[in-house]
Amino acid sequence: MTAPHPGATPPWQPAGTVYGVLLNFEHEYAQWLPRMHEAPYKAPPQAPVLYVKTANTWNPDGGAVALPAGASGLEVGATLGLVQDAQGQWAAALLNDFSLPHDSYFRPPVPYRCRDGFLGTPAALRPLASLAELATLRLSVHVNGDLRQTVDLGQLRRDAATLWADVNGFMTLRPGDVLMLGCDVAADGQRPRLQLGDTVELRAPGFAPLRHHVCAEEAHA
């Protein structure tokens, strides 16, 4: 990763807690719907299903993300994060919610989601007022220059405003907290998977591209 020039603006990092949400895209929800009726819950969730991306996961634009030895790959999670400051101003961050492949629906496993460097963060936020309507945005995932996935925010089960309100219905999001809108799956039910040496770039209208490359865990340590 290239060091910033002296006097350069440091890259943005979350000032609060980063929350992810599961099952917030129509295709992802439909994929898991049969299992929602299994024990112990036996019914679809009524409130947003959240998890936390801990501070050790934050990885600035241009950084390396480590693939553990023996892992079958690294899943890409293209998403937007909502942020509100102390003055009530809204902004969005283009984020890459990396995870290791796993098949757990009931409990997002921390060892697969919260490894060092597993949240790609941008150089800067974008004010919501400067962006088009979020429901019209599409995020694209490019691996080694090839388009691998398009994420349509019009397919959210809870749009940005509804998700923020529903989460605040049972917990208070504080200024600086980040609420991610969710990560979709492709038609085959999978997310793009990276291998050692791959470079992934996320793009979205109004945002600077977000790039990371995959290295071996030993080389990253």
DSSP string spanning 121-163? E-SS-EEGGGS--GGG-EEEEEETTEEEEEEEGGGBSS-HHHH
Q: Could you tell me the domains of the chain?
A: 18-220 (3.90.850.10)
Asked if residue 179 has pLDDT above 90, the reply is yes
Residues forming beta bridges with residue 140, ordered by sequence position: 150, 203
Q: Kindly state the average pLDDT of the residues 197-217.
A: 97
Gap between the Cα atoms of 180 and 135, Å rounded: 14
Asked if residue 8 has pLDDT above 80, the reply is no
Asked if residue 221 has pLDDT above 60, the reply is no
Asked if residue 112 has pLDDT above 80, the reply is yes
pLDDT at 1 (0 to 100)? 45
- Structure confidence by residue, pLDDT tens digits, 37-96: 887 778 889 999 999 999 999 999 999 999 999 999 999 999 999 999 988 899 999 999
Instruction: Tokens for 93, please give them.
Output: 């961050």
- Structure confidence by residue, pLDDT tens digits, 19-39: 999 999 999 999 888 888 887
- Structure confidence by residue, pLDDT tens digits, 121-178: 999 999 999 998 999 999 999 999 999 999 999 999 999 999 999 999 999 999 999 9
- Of 177 and 221, the structure prediction assigns the larger pLDDT to 177
Gap between the Cα atoms of 165 and 179, Å rounded: 11
Q: How far is CA 147 from CA 17, 79, 144, 198, in A?
A: 31, 16, 9, 13
Question: Which amino acid type is present at position 80?
Answer: L
In sequence order, the 6+-apart residues with CB closer than 8 A to the CB of 37 are 43, 44
